[in-house]
Amino acid sequence: MSLPRVGKSLVLGSLGLAMGLSPLAVAAPSPEATAPVVPADVKGTDGVKTYLMKIIEQTNVASADLKKVGVEYDELVTSHNNSTVEAAKAEPDKVADEIKRMRDAYQRIDSYGYEYMEGIVAGVPALMKYDTELDAGVPKAKASISDNIADVVIHAGDLTIDHEGSLNNYLIEPTVFGTNPKFVNGSATLPGFDKPINLPKPKLVLALADYSIDAYGRLKTAAAAWLPWTVSVSAFSFACEPSASIVSSFSGFLFSRVSIVSMNARI
């Protein structure tokens, strides 16, 4: 169950940060997963990087939370003959709580995490490969010659997922929401859900959490090394000390790149 994308907010918010304005206020979408908290005093090109690093850190926390609940879920299923259905029948409240926490973690990784920095990551040459890996990459089997294929391979017990799409949209989301039959083991009627739900494979939840921790950790390292005033023009790149003119140029550069990405985002 995808939540609404926030490309328009990202365009305005990133432009405002680059110009030294206060971050755009975004209402909290739900009590469980809310919009990321960004410092109110960030300004200029350094503010863009501060914004990016803040969102990445919150996404890292959400990835760790997915791993934590994944461990609990795996232990619970293991204690019931490695059967998700038996675990759900014996301890429905606990299984329901764990699945809700998985979904909350996913929402904080993607809908209220990556989607708030998508335009920056996809618009910066040094970072854009992460957009394909985490969000925009398509499955190899369905790709056309012009598509970017997500280079993601997951091993989870006897299950191997080989280039079947980006981490957020094609792997974590359909696992925790039970929309891909390949990623679930059985179904159950659980308290707090209005209809039977498919039960995620425990080892897959763990593998996806580990991959998320690693991938967003790599993005954090790359983002920390990025200089916001490094501008790419065709095949040339140049770096210089930030100045009023560079801040102005970068504002236009960022806005144009974010706009292009946001227009292609699913709203």
Q: DSSP letter string over the chain?
A: -PPPP-HHHHHHHHHHHHTTPPPPP-----SSS-PPP--TT--HHHHHHHHHHHHHHHHHHHHHHHHHHHHHHHHHHHTTTT-HHHHHHH-HHHHHHHHHHHHHHHHHHTTTTGGGTHHHHHHSTTTHHHHIIIII-B-GGG--TTSPBP--EEEETTEEEES-S-IIIIIIHHHHTT--GGGEEEEE--TT-SS-EEEEPHHHHHHHHHHHHHHHHHHHHHHHH--TT-EEETTEEE-----HHHHHHHHHHHHHHHHHHHHHS--
Residue 29, domain extent: 7-264
Is the pLDDT at 250 greater than 70? The verdict is no
Question: Strand pairing partners for 136?
Answer: none
Which one is predicted more confidently, 249 or 148? 148
Question: What is the per-residue pLDDT for 32?
Answer: 61
Structure token pair of residue 106: 């996913």
Q: Classify residue 240: in a domain, yes or no.
A: yes
pLDDT for res 109: 97
What per-residue confidence (pLDDT) applies to 34? 76
Confidence of residue 266 (pLDDT cuts 50, 70, 90): very low
Residue 1 lies in a domain: no
Say what the pLDDT of residue 45 is: 73
Q: How confident is the model at residue 181 (pLDDT cuts 50, 70, 90)?
A: very high
Percent of the chain whose pLDDT exceeds 70: 71
Number of structural domains in the chain? 1
pLDDT at 25 over 50: no
Residue 2 lies in a domain: no
More confident residue, 175 or 235: 175
**Encoding tokens for residue 63?**
């990835």
Tokens 């328009």 locate to 8
177-87-105-196 Cα dihedral, nearest 10 degrees: 30
pLDDT higher than threshold 70 for residue 89: yes
Q: Is the pLDDT of residue 123 over 50?
A: yes
Nearest-angstrom CA–CA distance, 146 and 126: 20
Looking from the CA of 14 toward its CB, the CA atoms found within 13 Å total 31
Residue tagged 């204690």 (tokens): 79
Average pLDDT score over residue span 28-42: 61
pLDDT digits 0-9 by tens, 47-61: 889 999 999 999 999
pLDDT of 259 higher than 90: no
**256 in a structural domain:** yes
For CA atoms 57, 75, 193, 180, the dihedral sign is positive
Interatomic CA distance for residues 78 and 90, integer angstroms: 13
pLDDT tier for residue 39 given thresholds of 50, 70 and 90: low
Q: Does residue 19 surpass a pLDDT of 50? A: no
Q: What angle do CA 38, 114, 98 make, to 5 degrees?
A: 100
pTM of the model: 0.76
In this predicted structure, what is the pLDDT of residue 42?
64
